[in-house]
């Protein structure tokens, strides 16, 4: 049935991302006429599910207690050396990007991180797009090394449908690295609104003078039934909003019906996360702010006078 069981591999330590990659990997494997193998650090349940959603086989990577995921680099590189896959798709979480880079270094191979598009070429290689220059450019590349390695952000591909098969699950035990030790893990608390799901997003930047003034932004968002997002410095430097609210090349990607940019300059790194929005509206006191060239409607003005008036007016209009 399959010419080469080692054909396409997918890897993710996150269950949902793993299944997305299994779905896409299945299509690619069928197209290339090869098998699909899931590499699963998450354990046996995830491995069984990977097969239920379309993988031909799964390899469970069992990590010793207290070791970071990246400890698996040597074991994964060895598997690649033995089984010679054509293509590895990695779920581009921060952990897996580091692991993939380490595997790639061992193999002397190229790795595309955060690919935004994959296209199969007639010769079976994959052409990828990714953002460069902070989002100011898109590079289209084909890797010349083997295996092809591409890291794709979570939620790039749709959740797959069940596509059950019969396949083997085997286990590879990763040896511990005595030089590193995880001493604590503090899971993220559920921080409320998922901005990627909102129909309207109000994005706020450093033009806001104080954390209390977020109330102005929240009032506007509430009027529109939307969510509040922000630029990276508002979350990271100022800590006014949780880090899963910042939008951009290194943050969340949003594509709402309307994106309202408030007191943010519109640097390319931010634009990279909201470019797919249907309509973009900007409020900034600097008429030369780059956000205006990337907006459909712009108002030059002080957010402290504009927002209250805008919210009032919208309350009337949205009734």
Partner 1 sequence: MPNVITCYKWVIDEADIRAGGGGALSFEQAGRKISEYDRNAIEAAVQICEQQGGSVTAISLGGPEVKSSAKDALSRGPERAILALDPAFANADSQTTALGLTAAVKLAGAYDLIVCGEGSGDVYAQQVGPRLAELLGIPCITFAGKLTVTATGVVAERKLDDGVEVVEAAFPVLVTVLPDVAKPRIPSLKQVMGAAKKEVKVVDAAALGLAGDALAARFETKALKAPASNRKQVKVANPVALAEAIAGAVR
Ligand X SMILES: Cc1cc2nc3c(=O)[nH]c(=O)nc-3n(C[C@H](O)[C@H](O)[C@H](O)COP(=O)(O)OP(=O)(O)OC[C@H]3O[C@@H](n4cnc5c(N)ncnc54)[C@H](O)[C@@H]3O)c2cc1C
286 binds, among ligand X, partner 1, none (CB under 5 to 8 A by kind): ligand X
Beta bridge partners of 99: none
In what helix (H) or strand (E) does residue 42 lie, and over which residues does it extend?
A: none
132 binds partner 1 (CB under 8 A): yes
30 binds partner 1 (CB under 8 A): no
Residue number with CB closer to ligand X (11 or 240):
240
Say how many C-beta atoms besides its own lie within 10 A of residue 278's C-beta.
11
278 binds partner 1 (CB under 8 A): yes
Q: Closest residue to ligand X, Cβ-based?
A: 248
177 binds, among partner 1, ligand X, none (CB under 5 to 8 A by kind): partner 1
117 binds partner 1 (CB under 8 A): no
List own/partner pairs for 298-304 with CB under 8 A and 24 or more apart. Answer: 303/207, 303/208, 303/216, 303/262, 303/263, 304/209, 304/213, 304/216
39, 55 contact by CB (below 8 A): no
4 binds partner 1 (CB under 8 A): no
* The only residue of 36, 63, 262, 283 in contact with partner 1, by rule CB under 8 A: 283
Residue-wise burial string across 125-137, b where 16 or more C-beta atoms lie within 10 A, e elsewhere: bbebebbeeebee
Q: Of 5, 33, 3, 2, nearest to 170 (Cα)?
A: 5
| CA dist., res. 37 & res. 243, Å (int) | 34
* The only residue of 33, 64, 81, 137 in contact with partner 1, by rule CB under 8 A: 137
The minimum distance between CB 30 and partner 1, in angstroms, equals 25
Q: Of 109, 84, 118, nearest to 7 (Cα)?
A: 84
Residues 290-319 as x/- pattern, contact with partner 1 by CB under 8 A:
--xxxxxxxxxx----x--xx--xx--xx-
228 binds partner 1 (CB under 8 A): no
The minimum distance between CB 161 and ligand X, in angstroms, equals 33
Judged by CB under 8 A, the stretch of 19-27, 50-58, 155-163, 273-281 that binds partner 1 is 273-281
Task: Write a three-state SS string for 189-209.
Answer: CCCCCCHHHCCEEEEECCCCC
279, 296 contact by CB (below 8 A): yes
302 binds, among partner 1, ligand X, none (CB under 5 to 8 A by kind): ligand X
Residue number with CB closer to ligand X (54 or 248):
248
278 binds, among ligand X, partner 1, none (CB under 5 to 8 A by kind): partner 1
* The only residue of 10, 80, 109, 204 in contact with partner 1, by rule CB under 8 A: 109
241 binds, among ligand X, partner 1, none (CB under 5 to 8 A by kind): none
The minimum distance between CB 165 and ligand X, in angstroms, equals 39
275 binds, among partner 1, ligand X, none (CB under 5 to 8 A by kind): partner 1
Residues comprising the chain, all counted: 319
Helix (H, G, I), strand (E, B) or coil at 88: strand
The minimum distance between CB 218 and partner 1, in angstroms, equals 16
Angle 165-18-158 (CA atoms, 0-180°, nearest 5)? 90
Q: Tell which phi-psi region holds residue 226, choosing left (phi > 0), alpha (psi between -120 and 50) or beta.
A: beta
78, 103 contact by CB (below 8 A): no
95 binds partner 1 (CB under 8 A): yes
- At residue 261, φ and ψ (nearest 5 deg) are -95, 120
What is the binding site for ligand X (CB under 6 A)? Answer: 134, 205-207, 231-234, 246-251, 263-265, 267, 269-270, 273, 284-286, 289, 302-304
Rg (CA), the chain: 22
110 binds partner 1 (CB under 8 A): yes
* The only residue of 184, 190, 212, 288 in contact with partner 1, by rule CB under 8 A: 184
């Amino acid at each position: 049935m399959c010419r080469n069981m080692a054909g396409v591999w997918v890897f993710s330590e996150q269950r949902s991302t793993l299944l997305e990659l299994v779905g896409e990997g299945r299509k690619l494997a069928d197209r290339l006429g090869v098998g699909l193998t899931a590499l699963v650090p998450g354990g046996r349940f995830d491995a069984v599910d990977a097969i239920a959603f379309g993988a031909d086989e799964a390899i469970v990577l069992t990590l010793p207690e207290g070791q970071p995921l990246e400890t698996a680099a040597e074991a994964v590189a060895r598997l690649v050396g033995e089984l010679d896959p054509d293509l590895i798709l990695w779920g581009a979480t921060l952990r897996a990007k580091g692991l993939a880079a380490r595997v790639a270094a061992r193999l002397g191979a190229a790795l595309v991180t955060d690919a935004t598009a994959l296209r199969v070429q007639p010769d079976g290689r994959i052409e990828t797009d990714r953002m460069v220059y902070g989002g100011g450019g898109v590079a289209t590349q084909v890797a010349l090394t083997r295996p092809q390695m591409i890291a794709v952000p979570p939620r790039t591909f749709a959740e797959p449908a069940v596509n059950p098969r019969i396949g083997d699950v085997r286990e590879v035990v990763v040896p511990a690295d005595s030089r590193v030790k995880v001493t604590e893990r503090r899971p993220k608390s559920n921080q409320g609104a998922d901005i990627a799901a909102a129909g309207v997003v109000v994005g706020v930047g450093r033009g806001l003078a104080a954390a209390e003034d977020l109330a102005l932004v929240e009032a506007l968002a509430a009027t529109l039934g939307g969510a509040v997002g922000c630029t990276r410095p508002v979350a990271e430097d100022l800590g006014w909003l949780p880090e899963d609210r910042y939008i951009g090349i290194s943050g969340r990607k949003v594509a709402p019906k309307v994106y309202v940019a408030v007191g943010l300059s519109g640097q390319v790194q931010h634009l990279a996360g909201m470019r797919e929005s249907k309509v973009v509206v900007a409020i900034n006191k600097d008429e030369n702010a780059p956000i205006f060239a990337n907006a459909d409607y712009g108002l030059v003005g002080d957010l402290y006078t504009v927002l209250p008036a805008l919210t009032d007016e919208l309350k009337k209009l949205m009734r």
